Structure 1
Amino acid sequence: MTSKAPSPLKPYRSLLWLLAAGVFMQTLDTTIVNTALPAMAADLAQSPLRMQSVVVAYALTVAMLIPASGWLADRFGTRRVFVGAVTVFTLGSLACALSPSFNLLILSRVLQGVGGAMLLPVGRLTVLRAVPRKDFLAAISFVTVPGLVGPLVGPTLGGWLVEAVSWHWIFLINVPLGVLGALLGTRILPDLRAATGRFDAVGYGLLAFGMVAISLSLDGLSDRSPRHGLLMVLLLFGLAALVGYWLHAARVTRALFPLSLFSVPSYRIGVLGNLFARLGGGGMPFLIPLLLQVALGFSPVRAGMMMIPTAAAAIFMKRIVVRMVQRLGYRRVLVGNTLLVGAMMASFASISPGQPLWLHIVHFALFGAVNSVQFTAMNTLALRDLDASAASGGNSLLSMVMMLAMSLGVALAGGLLGAFQEAEGGQALTAFRWTFVCIGLVTMCAALIFAQLPPTRRVDPTAVGQAESS
């Protein structure tokens, strides 16, 4: 009788569990808030249709700090940065729960985002340096599985907490987890460092200002105050800052993100396609719980449970997306699926009171399935052709674009919802319908980008594993 071979990850099990818990905290927080927005709005004397700033503040802060996470970990050590990130995230969560006003809640979400921005990138970097290369894919898959579980339980848990106690507890549950994580981090996490060059502060400043200016200008469009002229000026400044970064990166030798990344066609198309496809997709987790509660009268728990078919179908589809791409090729899958995702987003305009529950379940599951195919295929495409020297920078830029697109998507959805609500005389359901149609059309535009891909039928399954960990 032969004994079972020990798992190659056994020596790193404690480290991987700790990093997985950090990933779970970060991904849970991006979804648990959405179901609680109407209750938060009522408590803070805000319109529930204008609560997108709570989501935008967090996502935008994460997007801003991702480019600096690798340099900070190399400079100060993975243990110090990770434990510091967990501590700041926990303090931000406590501040969110104690916020007596809407503006203080937004500031607390920014603080929370400062910590959340470091959890996943620094965790991935720690695994890359602590685990042998031959075991890296298995280790990173172990760490990022909670990232799939977070969206599955987040909306339902958020709805239950709102009804059972109050919305404050969607933040308070992070406090004991964060304290435990910080204590274990000082004992378990290795203090890994690397030589650091000079940080591209000018490039980072241009990039960060551009992201903030564009996001804030889109977010402010839902306001009724006569500031739209100033917002347009802010938008132009943001676009100018991004152009300034492009010119800056073209002339310096150690740019934050070198332009040579975009010389790889699959990466260039993958990143740009990601940005435009996620402008619509980023707003859906914000819009759907609001639609169910504000326009259809669902309770927070029922609205949260309605997101389970979406998340479950998304997890299931990750098992077969590789076979789809191998059989049909990237161009056919991404062009066809992008159009299908946009159509599914627009189809939410057909939801109305009185429809049977089974129809909603099928509808939400179909949306989760096509959305999962889209995200996995886009990420795989972007990373598959990068060589070892460009993999780290390319992955960081892709992660930044994903969070930025989420921020812009929520800001766009909130702006459209506020504008249509005002145009329709306050009729919430009609405003939701027009908003879904518009973001569906925006998503479909990304098909024009993916159509530039050459025909191909080959996919590296290893690249899919790396992409799903992004």
Structure 2
Amino acid sequence: MSATRASDAELLRPFKPMLWLVAAAVFMQMLDTTIVNTALPSMAVDLGQSPLRMQSVVVAYALTVAMLIPASGWLADRFGTRRLFVAAIVLFSAGSLACALSQNLDALVASRVLQGVGGAMMMPVGRLAVLRAVPRTAFLAAMSFVTVPGLIGPLIGPALGGWLADVASWHWIFLINLPLGVLGAIAALKWMPDLRAPVSRFDLPGYAMLAFGMIAISLSVEALSGHAARHAALVVLLVTGLAALVAYWLHAARSVAPLFPLTLFRTRTFSVGLLGNLFARLGSSGMPYMIPLLLQVALGYPPTHAGLMMIPVALAGMFSKRIVVPLVQRFGYRNVLVVNTVLTGLTMASFALVDVDQPTWLHIVQFAIFGAVNSLQFTAMNTLALRDLGGPEASAGNSLLSMVMMLAMSLGVATAGGLLGAFSGEPAGDAPVLAAFRWTFVCVGALTLASAAIFAQLGRTHRIPGRVVETSDQA
């Protein structure tokens, strides 16, 4: 093993500057995804908004990333990885500055969209550069190197966001991106290889249908708690969004080169993994948004304390990733995912029992249990979706999975925010805030529980030491 590691180190040595650059981009992306949640109540006070109606700040970023992921690979092939990577860093930094300068919620949401345009291209283009530049024999080691910072971002993001909101102001959670962006752009001009590939005609009609469908559905769900007079328009928006997705499905069936070929769904594990990802994340993606709000708005924690309380979630999640492989090898994907999905849903619903008088250690234990089962869920779902894809399908499947993950994050936060607003009687505020959180946790837990039925459709697992074989019950 030591010889193998030495060999990988030798192969990666010429690419280390590029790998550090991509690793820094992964860190920036993951840090920004988690640092905002803890500072939302402080933003709400400064912008004159209700803390329970700030979900659009998170939704705007996640939805923009989801919408642009399908185009990132084609753009990199067309304009080159170096040019697009530098442009992504510049846009991300410009969006961060615009966020810090925002004087109202609408301006902040628009700035988050600009930030999301850059964020949508940084990680995919960085991974693509690694894939094409690094020798295949060292690719796994290279990807491990660049993804480690992605684990550190969620670990320090919430605490850093809370600390900055306490000692300075929420504006600094965006301003800290500026020096990183300047250094990253300079480093990218020097070390990012300018890789290109022949491009086919971009599937613009299919992309338009897919993007409109995602935007329409997300916006209609995000406005769930709005005024009754708007409900008719929201129903129309939701229906047209669903119609756009159906239209894309029909378009992809007859297109020569669709964004995502429908042949992907002939692989049963991919279909189950993708759909399970979407519906399981509808519930769990709202938790990083709701937990800091619960701690600050309902329990009265200061931002720094609320951020520190998220560290057990991240640490337990990092630990649980180590036991995924042994569990799957022993019990199979179906058993692991069905049982763990139920556990995740019940753990989420258990947050309805949180009360002001409970000791801090009990909250820490509860948060750690959630972090462990939630991380195990994500890892098992993602590996299930991609494990049986090969060749060109692997690239398309990975892009589609990344898009669905970000879309589910957008929908999950929108759903959680809408439920919180509805249960709290917004905008009148005639219901106890803690009761609104309790009912919302029960609802999102139920959503996750229901997704266990999707994973139950996997075939029976033959328990063979060292590997897992899935066979269809209908074969």
Normalization by structure 2: what TM-score? 0.95
Which residue pairs with 1:183 in the alignment?
186
Deviations 1:358-388 (A, max 9, x none): 1111100000000011000000100000011
Superposed displacement of residue 119, structure 1: 1.0
Q: CA deviation at 1:437?
A: 0.2
**For residues 459 and 206 of structure 1, what CA distance do their matches in structure 2 show?**
45
Report the equivalent of 2:230. 227
Check 1:176–1:433 CA distance in 2 against 1; reply closer, same or farther (3 A cut).
same
Q: Does 1:270 align with 2:278?
A: no
- Aligned mates of 2:42, 2:304 — CA distance in 1: 12
Counterpart of 2:164, as a letter, is L
Among 72, 85, 90, the residue aligned to 2:88: 85
User: Residues 460 and 154 (structure 1 numbering): CA distance in 2 closer, same or farther, change over 3 Å?
Assistant: farther
Shift in alpha-carbon separation, 1:415–1:461, aligned structure 2, 3 A: farther
Q: 1:58 aligns with which of 49, 55, 61?
A: 61
Q: CA deviation at 1:224?
A: 3.1
Distance 1:182 1:57 in 2: 24
1:306 corresponds to: 309
Alignment-derived partner of residue 437 in structure 1:
442
Task: Specify which of 442, 450, 453 is matched with residue 455 of structure 2.
Answer: 450
Count of equivalent residues = 461
Given that residues 78 and 196 in structure 2 are in contact (C-alpha distance below 8 angstroms), is that contact kept between their aligned partners in structure 1?
yes
Structure 1: gaps spanning 5 or more residues: 463-470
Q: Distance in 2 between matches of 1:426 and 1:447?
A: 32
Tell me the distance in 1 between the aligned counterparts of 2:276 and 2:420. 24
Q: Which residue of 1 aligns with 2:395?
A: 392
Quote how far apart the aligned CAs of 1:253 are.
Answer: 1.1
1:97–1:397 CA distance, 2 compared to 1 (3 A)? same
Deviations 1:340-370 (A, max 9, x none): 1000000000000011111111100000000
Aligned match of 1:45: 48
Aligned to 1:340: 343
2:416 is matched with which residue?
413
Q: Tell whether 2:104 aligns with 1:101.
A: yes
Name the residue aligned to 2:37. Answer: 34
Q: Is the 8 A contact 2:269 2:384 kept in 1?
A: yes
- The structure-2 alpha-carbon separation of the partners of 1:50 and 1:461, relative to structure 1 and needing over 3 Å to count, comes to farther
1:152, 1:308 within 8 Å by CA — same for their partners in 2? yes
TM-score by length of 1: 0.96
Give 1:80's aligned amino acid.
R
Q: Distance in 2 between matches of 1:435 and 1:458?
A: 41
User: In structure 1, what is the equivalent of residue 473 of structure 2?
Assistant: none
Tell me, yes or no, if structure 1 residue 24 matches structure 2 residue 37. Answer: no
| Aligned amino acid, residue 439 of structure 1 | V
Q: Give the percent of matched residue pairs that are identical in Structure 1 and Structure 2.
A: 68
Query: Distance in 1 between the 2:13 and 2:210 partners?
Result: 41
State the 1:420 CA deviation.
0.4
Over 3 Å counting, the alpha-carbon distance change for 1:346 and 1:121 in structure 2 is same
Partners of 1:183 and 1:460 lie apart in 2 by 45
8 Å contact 2:330–2:465 — kept in the other structure? no
Q: Alignment partner of 2:388: what SS? A: coil
Query: Where does the alignment leave 5 or more consecutive residues of structure 2 unmatched?
Result: 469-475
State the Cα deviation string for residues 36-94 of structure 1 (Å, max 9, x = none): 00000000000000000000000000000000000000000000011100000000000
CA distance in 1, matches of 2:225, 2:57: 14
Cα deviations across residues 262-304 of structure 1 (Å, max 9, x unaligned)?
0100000000000000000110000000000000000000000
* 1:426 Cα deviation after fit: 3.0
Alignment of 1:286-325 (within 5 A): 286-325=289-328
**Is 1:198 the counterpart of 2:201 in the alignment?**
yes
Note if contact 1:50-1:222 (Cα within 8 Å) is conserved in structure 2.
no
Looking at structure 1, the residues matched to 225 and 315 of structure 2 have their Cα atoms a distance apart, in angstroms, of 32
Matched residue type, 1:455: R
Q: Distance in 2 between matches of 1:289 and 1:458?
A: 43
**Map of 1:368-387 to 2, 5 A cutoff?**
368-387=371-390
Question: 1:353/1:239 Cα in 2 relative to 1: closer, same or farther (>3 Å)?
Answer: same
How far off is 1:459 after superposition? 9.5
The structure-2 alpha-carbon separation of the partners of 1:377 and 1:458, relative to structure 1 and needing over 3 Å to count, comes to farther
Q: Distance in 2 between matches of 1:413 and 1:181?
A: 35
The whole-number CA distance in structure 2 between the counterparts of 1:336 and 1:391 is 28
Q: 2:17 aligns with which of 14, 18, 24?
A: 14
Paired letter, 2:407: L
Distance (Å, rounded) in 2 between the aligned partners of 1:319 and 1:109: 34
Structure 2 residue corresponding to 1:256, chosen from 223, 247, 259:
259
Aligned partners of 2:329 and 2:467 also within 8 Å = no
RMSD between superposed Cα atoms in Å: 1.6
Alignment partner of 1:127: what SS? Answer: helix
Separation (CA, whole Å) in 1 of partners of 2:240 and 2:33: 28
Deviation of 1:458 (Å)? 6.0
Which amino acid counterpart does residue 205 of structure 1 have in structure 2? A
Q: Secondary structure at the match of 2:301?
A: coil
Change (3 A) 1:134 1:248: same
Which residue does 2:243 correspond to in 1? 240
Q: Is the Cα–Cα contact under 8 Å of residues 267 and 385 in structure 1 kept in the other structure?
A: yes
The verdict on how the C-alpha distance between 1:460 and 1:422 changes in structure 2, with shifts beyond 3 A counting, is: farther
For residues 156-208 of structure 1, give each alpha carbon's deviation from its aligned partner in whole angstroms, at most 9, with x where no partner exists.
00000001100000000000000100011000000000000000000000000
Instruction: Give the distance between the partners of 1:282 and 1:192, measured in 2 at CA.
Output: 34
Aligned to 1:422: 425
Choose from 327, 330, 334 the match for 2:330. Answer: 327
